[in-house]
Amino acid sequence: MTSRRNFLKGSAAITSASVLGLPAIVRAQTRDAFTMITPFGFISDFIEMMNTVSGGHFAAQNIDGKILGGQGGAQVLQQLITGQVDVIRAGGTDVMLALAQTKIPIISIATIYQGSTFNIISSKDKPIEKAEDLKGKTVGVTSVGGTSDILLELCLAKVGLKKEDIKHETTGNSPGAFQILKQGRVDCFMGSLPVVVALKAMNEDIVAWSTDRYAPTPGQSYVTTQQTIDTKPAILTRAIKALTASAKEMIDQPLKPIFERAAKDYDIPGIKNVDALVAAEKAVIDQLWLSEGKENLMRNVPKLWKSGVDALRASNIGQASDAETLYTNKFVDAK
């Protein structure tokens, strides 16, 4: 994304190069180009990606990094397999099912969400407290056939139910889905952890539980192709170092200034209520980034990948590849 701030940074770099007696284009060539894309625009869920640019972490690794805002998982995956971007952020189940769907091997080179961000959300007046309670109910999903839909089906399968045992309604992924519930159009809905945090801040009486209760699986990973791993290993190593540094800054430093700095480069929805974004992100860090301990920050945890693959196979959802072929920690572990 081009912004006035980025333009000014570029102008400063040109001036600096001139002072040193070097053409600006020569200095620019010393940085390696690298492009990542989010699944859905520049929503706050992807702040650690934006912070690699706005916080200078890509620059510190001598990378000319660009973050693009995607328009859905399918579009983002297509851009990856056609070589238009180097890395995408995608759900663990997306990686597990990709080979069967696209015939292209994609691999997780780091995991930022060690668990599912999706919760089953209902009202305390008519609570859905366990997967068995879903039978005969109408359930809201963010998109039919998407990650939330797959995770819902895994939960159903774990308790002997089928997707035909419920009705689906598309409700999106926002606190506004609770109003659809209040209207009686759904009995419960799938929502990400930030939605749960927002609803609680609004003092809504909700019951919420993670799909990890029934099907633990990696939530969100940084994903690339085998071809990119083979052709750009050094750049990928430095990119993961930059992403890790961004994540550690967010763990160790106040989040509000980080959001405000990123908002100068990216159009972040809801930034006018930055305190709400900060509260949601703190929950994400504690419950998803660090759920396997700080020592596993960014690592692909083998037991979670095996659990996800086993759940997919048991429920006969697609043809999941062997777990150990879906990830590598060599870039996270690189010194």
User: Which pLDDT tens digits describe the chain residue by residue (335 residues)?
Assistant: 444 444 344 433 333 333 344 444 434 458 999 999 998 899 899 999 999 999 999 999 999 999 999 887 778 888 999 999 999 999 898 889 887 777 788 999 999 999 999 999 999 999 999 999 999 999 999 877 778 888 999 999 999 999 899 999 989 888 999 999 999 999 999 999 999 999 999 999 999 999 999 989 999 999 999 999 999 999 999 999 999 999 999 999 999 999 999 999 999 999 999 999 999 999 999 999 999 999 999 999 999 999 999 988 888 887 778 899 999 999 999 97
Q: Which CATH number fits domain 118-213: 3.40.190.10, 3.40.50.2300, 3.30.420.40, 3.40.630.20?
A: 3.40.190.10
What confidence score (pLDDT) does residue 98 get?
A: 83
Q: Residues in the chain, how many?
A: 335
Tell me which architecture the domain covering 31-115+218-333 has in CATH: 3-Layer(aba) Sandwich (3.40)
What confidence score (pLDDT) does residue 16 get?
A: 36
Closest of 40, 51, 187 to residue 117, by C-alpha: 40
What confidence score (pLDDT) does residue 145 get?
A: 73
Task: Confirm whether 31-115+218-333 and 118-213 share one CATH topology.
Answer: yes
| Dihedral sign computed on CA atoms, order 296, 41, 279, 52 | positive
pTM: 0.84
User: Residue 50 belongs to what H/E stretch?
Assistant: helix 47-54
What confidence score (pLDDT) does residue 29 get?
A: 57
Determine the Cα angle at 248 with ends 270 and 241, to 5°. 110
Q: In angstroms, rounded to a whole number, what is the distance separating the alpha carbons of residues 71 and 53?
A: 20
User: Residue 233 belongs to what H/E stretch?
Assistant: helix 233-252
Do 207 and 122 touch, CB atoms closer than 8 A?
yes
CA 222 to chain centre: 8
Please compute Rg for the chain using Cα positions. Answer: 21
Q: Give the start-end residues of each E strand in the chain.
A: 32-38, 63-69, 87-91, 106-113, 118-123, 138-141, 167-170, 188-192, 206-210, 220-225
What confidence score (pLDDT) does residue 13 get?
A: 38
Extents of the domains making up the chain? 31-115+218-333, 118-213
